[in-house]
Amino acid sequence: MLFPIPWRQSPSRWQYTCAACFKRLEKRSRRHLSTANGASTPAKLHPPRKSTPKLPLPEKPARTRFAPSPTGYLHLGSLRTALFNYLLAKATGGQFLLRIEDTDRKRTIPDAEKRLYEDLRWAGLQWDEGPEVGGPYGPYRQSERTPLYQTHAHKLLDSGHAYRCFCSAERLHQLAEQRAALGVATDYDRTCASIPKEESDERAAKGEQHVIRLLVPEDYPEFQDLVYGHVGRGKKKRRQDIVAYDDPILLKTDGLPTYHLANVVDDHHMKITHVIRGDEWLPATPKHLAMYEAFGWEPPQFAHVALLVDEKGAKLSKRNFDVDIASYRDKIGVFPETLVNFVALLGWSHNHGNDCMDMEQLVERFHTKFTKGNAKVKLDKLWFLQHKHAMRRIESGEIDDMVKSIVKLVKSTPETQDYEIMLRGRTLEDYVTAILRADAKNYSTAADFVKRNSYLFGSGNPAPRPVSFQGLSTTDLAMVIRGLYEIPADQWNATSLKARVEKIIADVIAAIAEREAAKEADIKNMQKVVNGKVLHFLRSMMAHGQHGPSMFEVMELLGREETLRKLGP
């Protein structure tokens, strides 16, 4: 039996081969096949088209949330949590909610909530429901939902899934110290769990201070985590001679909820379907699931993503990149699309060849196959992506923000205060745009750009012309300079300059060859050497030896008058 084989060069043409050859060709896609007339023709098989596999996503629109506390500013880890939840909602056509967990009044920072809104919007994470937006399940600040939490805490009391604890802070402190000395968990001993309900109600009615604790079950519920897979029933290990129970507090003495209660109640009432959070919350999840069971509610799907660490495996701190997001924006000068792209790759992978992605591409490619284990934060990756996104901006012409940042720095930097001399009738914005296009491949931040190209923003004093330069004699240098003086103003552009300088270099080589009576073989070796020396000389005089745009682009940007001034009289 013969099998048809399509030609790669022309899919409409076919060649036939036997079954045995067909199998070999499947393994070796680049083989020479014999044509019908016996001629040997290099026929390349089409490799099987690998359609991008559809990686796991919920079948229905997901409702996700980001629930920060205004006790601090947005950092890399919290931005990543917000981003993953945002991407899941958008990838499934769902909704992304913002909820403020502001019940910790003592640690609240006055401007943290306002900064949070600014940082999220700067990063492109606009919420569908939440503060300043509204929605059908508000209010979206926990401090405004206290009656709801109190009602649900008492529902658990009535059903026997919770109890009041009247123990004083002193007793709890002593209990914790005793347990710590024994090297065991500092859990509660359920002293108050045996208080009859009537007595508990009466003591509470008289105003006796108390908290409400969850009565956790002997075995925690099983659940399926999107990252860790099946998490089985966990028995709470305890020593036989010590009674200890990890019954979390749900309602504090001031009537405000703890994270455990508020988060479960809010996620249920706001119809959250998926919760993506850091894996530091994995140990608390069984308690939350026990509460869902106690209420008779269906829990959301959980995904606990990797902890962010530095390259040595240590937890991030302010000394190793974990500065707030505003610092990346205002002090470091990172683009929002760069930072979002960067944090998306921390604990998440994709099957596309290019790591450089904007928000639209991240949404399109997002899936819930997260990586396990700690995610290392490497700043070289951040700067790689910054370069890529800078090129994208420049190629698309979306450079207004970049130009504004550079112009602001040029005007405020002492070393560039005489930039007006360089403009030659251009606006500073147009001049910066020209430099930006010429030096696009080297852009990282506005500050670095101004520093590296400072010679283009200030005339300064011309460097003294050297008597000789790396093997170029005074005569050789004079030929180079004289040749540049002969280039007319109407030909002062990078293309013409390149051609004229190449001619000047050829003349210099001919003069050196004649002076040294060089042989033809020596002249060929001389060409590359002299070319490098002349260009090095020009960069030394024009750009103080700094890297940047090509020498001919630098000379065009400087203009004829400034270029010749730098070469000296």
- Cα–Cα distance, 549 to 436 (Å, whole number): 9
Mean pLDDT, the chain, integer: 86
Contact 64, 85 (CB under 8 A): yes
pLDDT tens-digit readout, 230-282: 987 655 545 445 667 889 999 999 999 999 999 999 999 999 999 999 999 99
Looking at residue 438, its amino acid is: A
Can you tell me whether residue 474 is helix, strand or coil?
helix
Residue % of the chain over a pLDDT of 90:
64
- Cα–Cα distance, 454 to 458 (Å, whole number): 7
**pLDDT higher than 60, residue 383:** yes
Domain coordinates in residue numbering, the chain: 2-41, 146-305, 474-567
487: number of CA atoms within 13 Å, CB side?
A: 27
CA dihedral sign of residues 432, 437, 438, 441 = positive
Q: Which two tokens stand for residue 378?
A: 């490497």
555 pLDDT band, cuts 50/70/90, is very high
77 pLDDT band, cuts 50/70/90, is very high
pLDDT tens-digit readout, 487-530: 999 999 999 999 999 999 999 888 888 888 777 777 777 888 88
46 pLDDT band, cuts 50/70/90, is very low
182 pLDDT band, cuts 50/70/90, is confident
Residue % of the chain over a pLDDT of 70:
86
- Cα–Cα distance, 378 to 309 (Å, whole number): 9
| Among 155-164, 268-277, 423-432, the least confident range | 423-432
Give mean pLDDT, residues 28-54: 39
- Cα–Cα distance, 513 to 529 (Å, whole number): 13
**pLDDT higher than 90, residue 544:** no
Q: What is the pLDDT of residue 49?
A: 39
pLDDT tens-digit readout, 89-119: 999 999 999 999 998 888 999 999 999 999 9
Other Cβ atoms less than 10 A from the Cβ of 234: the count is: 12
Q: What is the pLDDT of residue 459?
A: 65
- Residues β-bridged to residue 53: none
pLDDT tens-digit readout, 277-332: 999 999 999 999 999 999 999 999 999 999 999 888 888 765 666 678 999 999 99
DSSP 8-class letter at 11:
T
Where is pLDDT greater, at 243 or 349?
A: 349
Region of residue 229 (left: phi > 0; alpha: psi -120 to 50; beta: else): left
Catalytic annotation present for 408: no
Fold of 146-305: Rossmann fold (3.40.50)
- CATH architecture, domain defined by 474-567: Orthogonal Bundle (1.10)
- Cα–Cα distance, 394 to 400 (Å, whole number): 10
Q: Which two tokens stand for residue 64?
A: 């996700």
Contact 221, 233 (CB under 8 A): yes
| Active-site residue, from 23, 197, 315, 318 | 318
Highest mean pLDDT among 101-115, 201-215, 530-544: 201-215
